[in-house]
Structure 1
């Protein structure tokens, strides 16, 4: 199994035996439903090894790490 490392701006997601990331998903959102039933984007699909291969997590950019940059580029506020 390949070794993966998380960092401030990268997160790894996937169960040890199941990974739902597919080829062509790069740039797509990783979202979670909050307690108040709203949805929040917490990641952007970056890459993975193979297509839904066991023991190979999907690699995602962490959206919160980039919020200041996103806000500076869009001129808006972020929730």
Structure 2
């Protein structure tokens, strides 16, 4: 199994899922992915459940290093990704 190393997060990278439904009675927002459509398509393309976790990158320019074999998918806004 490979691993993904964050070299530079530049601004902000978070892990996101579908959020917490029914938590408002405790004073918590639903939260979850900002682009729910992109999150769900990414999980579908990878063969994961929709409740799996995604990396959400705010304002781009993040840099990663992949060690070992892995499958990744980029969804959402145009991010000018390079390898």
Q: Same fold (TM over 0.5)?
A: no
TM interval, short-chain normalised? under 0.3
Q: TM-score, normalised by structure 2?
A: 0.25
